[in-house]
Structure 1
């Protein structure tokens, strides 16, 4: 399955705990928890370009499956991460003891963060 496309986030699990773990202040967590971000993905083979727009915040990350890369978090912090694909519709990102799972089902993206 190719992830290329533009998606509006439909649901998030563990949003507040995840944002606290990456260092986002409580007032920004409260403001952001009801904003449905838009993700634009361009996939070429194992290489991904990802642009996430949440309100006025835009984050751009680029990675190749299975290779360590530097990614920007919602706080602007740069972290070393590895993104793997599980099955043909899940991207699993691991960094700083956090596991983030993005799942594509048709035209719907869901996001789960595990601490």
Structure 2
């Protein structure tokens, strides 16, 4: 199954505790908690380009499965990491945050980010 397509955030769990855990200021958490982000994924073989637009903020990451890439984090930092693919899951570890993006079915993309015991889950639907 291909990850390619556009997905809109449908629901999220533990947004505020997770954002606090990674050091996002309270005023930005309040501004961001009700914004519906749109993720656009382009997949070409093992090469990915992921563009996440939240309000006026655009985050773009390009990577090749199994190769080190410089990725932008939610907090705006750039870190080197390797994205692995396991079936319909993309897994990466960024500065202690384990991110798993799973294509649950043709129209549902679930991203789970874990930092210690704080788990932030985002469910997106294809648009």
TM-score range, shorter chain: 0.7 to 0.9
2-side partners of 1:57 and 1:40: how far apart? 14
What TM-score, normalized to structure 1? 0.87
Root-mean-square deviation (CA), in Å? 1.6
Structure 1 residue 57 corresponds to structure 2 residue 57: yes
Shift of 1:25: 1.2
* Structure 1 contact 11–110 (Cα < 8 Å) conserved: no
- Report deviation, 1:11: 3.1
Larger Rg: 2
Deviates more, 1:42-51 or 1:15-24: 15-24
Work out the CA distance in 1 between the residues paired with 2:46 and 2:59.
20
| Cα distance in 2, alignment partners of residues 95 and 109 from structure 1 | 20
- The DSSP-based 3-state class of the residue aligned with 1:53 is strand
Q: Number of aligned pairs?
A: 114
* Alignment match, 2:85: 85
Native 8 Å contact 1:8 1:109 kept in 2: no
1 CA distance for matches of 2:34 and 2:21? 18
Judge conservation of contact 1:9–1:110 (CA < 8 Å) in 2: no
2:51 aligns to what SS in structure 1?
A: strand
Taking a change above 3 Å as real, the CA distance of residues 45 and 52 of structure 1, as seen in their structure-2 partners, is same
CA contact (8 A) 2:73 2:94 kept: no
Q: Is 1:96 the counterpart of 2:67 in the alignment?
A: no
Decide which moves more: 65-74 or 11-20.
11-20
Does residue 114 of structure 1 match 2:114?
yes
- Are residue 41 (structure 1) and residue 50 (structure 2) matched? no
Structure 2 SS opposite 1:113: strand
